[in-house]
Amino acid sequence: MESKSIDLKIEGMREGKPLSPDLLDVDELVNLLSYARDFLFPEKSQDRSRVNIKIEEGSAIIKFFVPNAVAIQSQALLGALNTAHDLGLLKPKQVEAIQYIQQFISRENFALKFGLSGKLDEGLSINRQTEWTSPEEVWVNEELYVVGEIIDIGGKANPNVHLDTKEFNTITISSTREMLGEDSKNRLYKKQQVRIRIKRSLKTGEYDKKSAVLLAFIDFDEGESPDEYLDRLIAESTPYWEKVSDPEKWLNNVRGYG
C-alpha cells in the first residue's frame, strides 16, 4: 500500500541550543507519538496498516508514514483546523491529542507544524499564543436496556432504583412513587432488566449517570436470558411490524413528534 509522510515538526530552544531530537525526553517522544497516532486514527474500530515512523534533524521532526488516503484526509482537516481553530471539527480522541500538543508547546515555548511532508505550511501551526474554540456540550436522550441487581429501591422524597450493573457499576435511576407503588413484585436483590432514558454527550459519547430515568421493568421468564427475552419479543412483534407501512412515521408519532 502506497504511503505518504505526515510530519510533526517542533522548533524552539532547549538548554541554550536549537531543539533537536536528542534534546527531547523519552516521555515527550512517547506522548507525541501516541497522541499524533490518535489524531490520525481516532476510531478504535478503524482498520489500519502498520504505521512506520522516522525521527529526523531539522529542529525535531517525527515522520508518520500512513496510507495515502489517511494522509490526504488528515492534511485537509489540519488545514481547516489551522483556519478555524475550532475543536468542534474533531472527534474526541483528536481533541485530546490537540489539547496535549497545545499544552506541551505552550509549556516549553516551542512552535509546531503538523501536516503533509513538503506542505507543512498548508497544515496546522501551533505556538504558545494559539487559542482554540470549543463547541458547547450537547446532550441527547437515549433509551437503553440495562441488566443488573437491584440493591435498593424506593425513597420518600426522591423515589429511585439503585442498580448494580457491568456498564455503569452502581447507577441510581430516578422513578415515581406511582410506578414503584403499583409494582407488585419484590425485586430487591434480584437480577433485573430495566428500560431507562439517559443523557449522552455528543462530544465524548459518555453517559450522564445522574440523568437516568426508569421507563419500565422488563420481566423475562425464569431461566430466560435477557438476550433470549429480546429475541422472543422481536419474534412476537414481527407480524405487527409488517402491518406498519411507514415505521419511521409510526415511531415518531409514538414518541410525540408527529
Domain spans of the chain?
3-126, 139-254
CATH of span 139-254:
2.40.50
Cell of 214: 426508569
Q: Report the C-alpha dihedral over residues 217, 220, 221, 226, rounded to 10 degrees.
A: -140
pTM of the model: 0.55
Q: What are 213-251's pLDDT values in tens digits?
A: 999 998 866 566 656 666 666 666 666 566 666 665 665
The answer to whether residues 116 and 123 touch, using CB atoms and an 8 Å cutoff, is: yes
Torsional sign, CA 94, 100, 106, 108? negative
Q: Does pLDDT of 201 surpass 90? A: no
The predicted pLDDT at position 24 comes to 94
CA distance linking residue 160 with residue 154, whole number of Å: 5
What residues contact residue 202 under an 8 Å CB cut-off, 6+ apart?
A: 138, 139, 140
The answer to whether residues 197 and 210 touch, using CB atoms and an 8 Å cutoff, is: no
